[in-house]
Chain A
Amino acid sequence: MNLPRWAITTISVLVFLALWEFFGRDVNPVFGSYPSAIAEAFVALARSGKLWTALFQSLQPFVVGYLLAIAVGVPLGLVVGRFRTAEAAFGIYVTAGYAMPLVALVPLLILWLGLGFAVKVAVVFLMSIFPVCINTWAGVRAVPVTLIEVGQSLVAPDSVILRRIILPATLPYIMAGIRLAVGRAVVAMVIAEFFTAISGLGGIIIQSANNFDTATMFVPVVILMVLAIGLNALIVWIERVVAPWQAELAGRE
Chain B
Amino acid sequence: MGEVSLVEVSKRFRLKTEEGEHVVQALDRVSFSVRDGEIAVLIGPSGCGKTTALRIAMGLDRATSGRVTVDGAAVAGCGHDRGMVFQHAELLPWLTAIENVMFGLEMKGLRGRALDETALRYLDLVGLAGSARRRPHQLSGGMKQRVGIARALAIDPKVLLMDEPFGALDAQTREAMQAELLDIHARTKKTILFVTHDLDEAVLLADRVIVLREGRLQEIMEVPLPRPRGDLAALRGTAAFAETRYRIWQALHEVPASGAGDRARGASDAASHSKPTP
Residues of B within 8 A of A155 (CB): 78-80, 107-108
Tally of A-B Cβ pairs under 8 angstroms:
56
Instruction: Give A contacts to B, CB under 8 Å.
Output: 144-147, 149-156, 160, 164-165, 168-169, 243, 245, 248-249
Residues of A within 8 A of B84 (CB): 149-150, 153
Cα of A245 to Cα of B138 in the assembled complex, Å: 10
Pair B137/A245 contact, Cβ less than 8 Å: yes
Residues of B within 8 A of A144 (CB): 90
Pair A147/B88 contact, Cβ less than 8 Å: no
Q: Tell me how many residues of B have a C-beta within 8 Å of chain A.
A: 24
Contacts A/B (CB < 8 Å), 24 sampled: A145-B278, A146-B86, A146-B90, A149-B60, A149-B86, A149-B90, A150-B84, A150-B90, A151-B107, A152-B59, A153-B59, A153-B83, A153-B84, A154-B103, A154-B104, A154-B151, A155-B80, A156-B103, A156-B107, A160-B107, A165-B92, A245-B137, A248-B135, A248-B137
Residues of B within 8 A of A249 (CB): 93, 137
Query: Which residue from chain A places its CB closest to the CB of B85 in the assembled complex?
Result: A153
Cα of A224 to Cα of B88 in the assembled complex, Å: 47
| Prevailing SS type, chain A contact patch | helix
Pair B92/A147 contact, Cβ less than 8 Å: yes
Instruction: Give B contacts to A, CB under 8 Å.
Output: 58-60, 78-80, 82-84, 86, 88, 90, 92-94, 103-104, 107-108, 135, 137, 151, 155, 278
Cα of A146 to Cα of B93 in the assembled complex, Å: 13
Question: Which residue of A152, A160, A169 contacts B78 across the interface (Cβ within 8 Å)?
Answer: A152
- Apart from A147-B90, A156-B107, A249-B137, what 13 extra A-B contacts exist at CB < 8 Å? A149-B60, A149-B86, A149-B90, A152-B60, A152-B78, A154-B108, A154-B155, A155-B78, A155-B107, A156-B103, A164-B103, A168-B92, A169-B94
Residues of A within 8 A of B86 (CB): 146, 149-150
